[in-house]
């Protein structure tokens, strides 16, 4: 008698993975938006200077990481056992990633600020 | 043969963490693609464990690179010189800004590098998590596999930009100083 072939484990819902992907997109956009806000406004720049030796970069990155982790935590709880439309999640995530990357590019920042 | 403490930390940041991370990229793309392609089922658990360790190591290296860059090297780079200082060699940012021929290295290079590098640990943490969570099941999740490969490619681009500008910045205005470390004495 031969042993039965190994069977694949039950497919996991895509919700937890989608939560991680969308949160990475939101975190990327938050990073770009915070960098842009720090560049655009002296008041924001001063507010982001949480640790003087590193200057505004300390606040920009900390804010982006807090947003990223908070969104990831929230989405992972909401989507823990659900299947979601990954095509929409991917499209949103990549749009936010591209927007975030553009917002850190100094010539693009200057263009938006009319410099 | 000597180097300063700041030289050592800069090399550790750029060559130790950053370049090691860049070298690991082609392996990461191969690991994700091979696992997600699902050529064999089930995959050997030892290989999966190794792949998980590989991606976690990449995420850790990405975090070490940005944290060492932002909180150890960058403060030395942007330190303000005392009023009336003529020699700016210990103040790289001010040295670059002191000439219109080099100011762009700060205004474009460092301004972009200091932010774009932070996309990488966010992306690679997500990639490592998804891989650990789903493993070979990525073969069944085409959209998720595309997202993981896309974010890995974006992380590569971000690291490449940061690495190239880092190399040029350190060429035109090296971060030097601190205790001298003598590696070898000449005859």
Per the structure, the complete domain to which residue A94 belongs is given by: 15-113
Separation of alpha carbons B76 and B82, rounded Å: 14
How many H helices and E strands in chain B? 9, 2
Q: Is residue B51 part of a domain?
A: yes
The H or E element spanning position B182 is: strand B180-182
Q: Is residue A2 part of a domain?
A: no
Helices (H), chain A: 15-40, 42-48, 56-78, 86-103, 106-113
**A38-50: pLDDT as tens digits:** 999 999 999 999 9
Q: Is B23 helix (H, G, I), strand (E, B) or coil?
A: helix
Q: Is residue B98 part of a domain?
A: no
- ipTM of predicted assembly, 2 dp: 0.91
Q: Is residue B95 part of a domain?
A: no
CB–CB contact B133 A23 (8 Å): no
Q: Is residue A37 part of a domain?
A: yes
A41 Cα to chain B: minimum distance (Å): 16
Instruction: Output b/e per residue, B135-171; b: 16+ Cβ within 10 A.
Output: bbbbbebebbbbbbbbbbebbbebbebbbebbeebbe
Q: Is residue B105 part of a domain?
A: no
CB–CB contact A106 B112 (8 Å): yes
**B102-141: pLDDT as tens digits:** 999 999 999 999 999 999 999 999 999 999 999 888 888 8
Q: Is residue B178 part of a domain?
A: yes
Q: What's the domain count of chain B?
A: 1
Q: What's the domain count of chain A?
A: 1
Q: Is residue B87 part of a domain?
A: no
Residues of B in contact with A8 (CB under 8 A): 41-42, 137
Q: Is residue B33 part of a domain?
A: yes
The domain that holds B18 is classified in CATH as 1.20.120
Which of B74, B146, B154 comes nearest A90 by C-beta?
B146
Q: How many CB atoms lie within 10 A of CB B32?
A: 20
Q: Is residue B94 part of a domain?
A: no
Q: Is residue A65 part of a domain?
A: yes
CB–CB contact B122 A24 (8 Å): yes
Q: Is B3 helix (H, G, I), strand (E, B) or coil?
A: strand
Contacts of A38 (CB under 8 A, 6+ apart): A44, A45, A48, A56, A59, A60
Where does the pLDDT of residue B143 fall: very low under 50, low under 70, confident under 90, or very high at 90 and above?
Answer: very high
């Amino acid at each position: 008698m031969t042993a039965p072939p190994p069977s694949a484990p039950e497919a996991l819902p895509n919700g937890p993975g989608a939560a991680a992907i969308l949160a990475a997109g939101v975190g990327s956009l938050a990073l770009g938006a915070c960098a842009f806000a720090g560049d655009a406004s002296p008041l924001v720049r001063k507010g982001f200077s949480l640790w003087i030796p590193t200057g505004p970069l300390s606040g920009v990155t900390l804010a982006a990481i807090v947003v990223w982790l908070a969104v990831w935590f929230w989405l992972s709880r909401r989507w823990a056992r659900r299947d979601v439309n990954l095509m929409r999640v991917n499209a949103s995530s990549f749009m936010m990633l591209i927007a975030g990357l553009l917002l850190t590019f100094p010539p693009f920042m200057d263009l938006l600020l009319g410099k | 043969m000597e180097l300063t403490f700041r030289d050592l930390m800069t090399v550790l940041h750029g060559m130790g963490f950053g370049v090691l991370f860049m070298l690991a990229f082609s392996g990461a793309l191969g690991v994700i693609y091979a696992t997600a392609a699902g050529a064999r089922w089930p995959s050997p658990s030892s290989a999966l464990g190794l792949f998980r360790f590989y991606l976690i190591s990449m995420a850790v290296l990405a975090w070490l690179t940005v944290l060492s860059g932002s909180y150890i090297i960058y403060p030395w780079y942007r330190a303000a010189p005392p009023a009336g200082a003529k020699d700016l060699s210990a103040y790289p940012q001010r040295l670059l800004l002191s000439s219109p021929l080099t100011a762009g290295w700060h205004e474009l290079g460092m301004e972009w590098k200091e932010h774009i590098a932070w996309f990488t640990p966010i992306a690679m943490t997500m990639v490592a998590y998804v891989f650990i969570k789903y493993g070979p099941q990525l073969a069944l999740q085409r959209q998720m596999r595309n997202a993981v490969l896309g974010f890995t490619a974006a992380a590569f681009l971000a690291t490449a930009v940061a690495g190239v500008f880092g190399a040029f910045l350190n060429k035109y205005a090296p971060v030097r100083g601190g205790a001298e470390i003598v590696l070898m004495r000449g005859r």
